[in-house]
Chains A and B, each alone.
Chain A
């Protein structure tokens, strides 16, 4: 039993099914990320955890207490909103105190809590200001302060950083992570940004069309995505999907990659049972850009790296690396190379592929062939 359990939760409006049976469970102190494109139901799910939205069926339990019928104020939660939702007519101090006053916390204790929260978030000098006199980052802090003052079992964050500019977003991201480490609180965090998801989460639920496509740790989701959708959603630049015909050779999966002039056979890892069923059929090879690189940048300790020839179509320098686009089996494929080894358009380059990291997907079911 965990800090938050979501069991077969569904939400429909008439015939429109927003959530189609969600099952999630996290332990105390964990940082859960709900990530997905807009309209995937992640915010609806968060609102249902908060009690702002009704559940059509299923069960939500916070700290082992089923809260389906409880009103938001009785769920022992606090929430930070995308628009911050600070009360415009109240000073920062009043904003933080509002919930405490309603809860009839004694005045002296209120002062104490406000002072502690303000110190934690370094907003002591802002306490007498109105929200309209604050910058975006400061409003964000106040919104978090209001949540912290409650000292709840569960924190809910609804895209809290998406109204900030890029630089501030990275700063606040680190700060939220730091706060989580320091306070050890349980957090549910909704975002559409896969980088935020990767950097912040202990557990990530990748959602699409009202379903959880995969639920796991960031590294699991990154290294072994359950399906094409998760594989393509997480990671930037996105994973390359190359259609190939699967073969088998000496217990290893083998695929042929054609650079336009020469077909080259590439030996992947040991073939699994699931993969063997697809021998001779079309599958999709998933390769992350950093696993396709120039020989120099490749990890020298890796044995059986597979090398292949390709012609550079475009180079995009990012600074530390240069993204090199080549064509393999007729699709544009991005390789992440050292700037020195990137070559220029039209030039032939040698790339090496890490066979242990390459993934295979069933094109019909879109599931990974484990």
Chain B
């Protein structure tokens, strides 16, 4: 017997997630499912609701409010109603509720659901905090520790339920950015929880080595850890290894290149689907949401995978582990810093020098500590082009030490500058960019080997 599927008058996918109530009204009006008199009645009820909520907002002390305030309160009312309407299995039933029930009641139900979601989200955040991935990635840690909790103290479900006052830097895989308010936060936390659960199949050390393989400075990057882990797991499975083996060796990439390079896009997609199913099976993932999230993420790899195969550059997708450097090879102990008065005299002397060559002579004669050198560079004694000449006079070791004392992005021109970057750091960055690549690399390598001993 054929399965009969109910046809819906309003399609869920044609509705706006953030303005659900209004988009149902628009669709219903377009499809002539609402009479003019019903629409008028909804408008009047909206005004009554807005008036009531505004009175609550002002505490009855002001009969008027700024237009923006009224607009926000109205959006908040519609948002709460939208949350309730989404609780119905399909939009047609939501429309029926709009027709049958007064707006005030829809709003009350929605407000209760919002409250329930806030509670669930707080609990979920607690669970995530107790069982997060151990990683040095700042965006991940900051978002979980601080960014989301800001939301719960700032969120106003009565008068600004549609706002999302949170500071979320950590990106998810397939994040539903069309949601707003508590719905967005709850959805974000649910996905983060799932992603964490997936990553928990691997040790913190393995994830660290994988992320180091992705980039040495992965700590500062806005990357989705789950996406990187899952990509390698899929690579492992495709290469005929077990899903728990996170590392992809060069030989695995060669094998994948040979085996998959000539497949059509459709066949490659089929392989990815099969791999996704196998990953879930091997890792014992049985719950539907995680299954779906894994499948969606794996399928989003398709285009990049095809491109990497065509260019024979699978290393851009499937990453080999990079272990920690065991110990720094060069231990550096800073020289003795001069006392404040002497330092002041020298900086004054340098500031008064007319030629930069004289400044360089004084620096070479008097400065014997990297800390003093940095203090000097920050001491308004060196100006504009003089920086480059002073850097030019320094040896590779001094430059490597300066690099070590600078933020990690120093020599990477693609990296975004931070707001608090100091002048000498920006000048050093320019100086490095102008250096020939061999010397730049050797200084960078040297910086990586130096361990600064604090006395």
Asked if A and B bind, the verdict is no
Residue numbers of B with Cβ under 8 A of A are: none
Residue numbers of A with Cβ under 8 A of B are: none
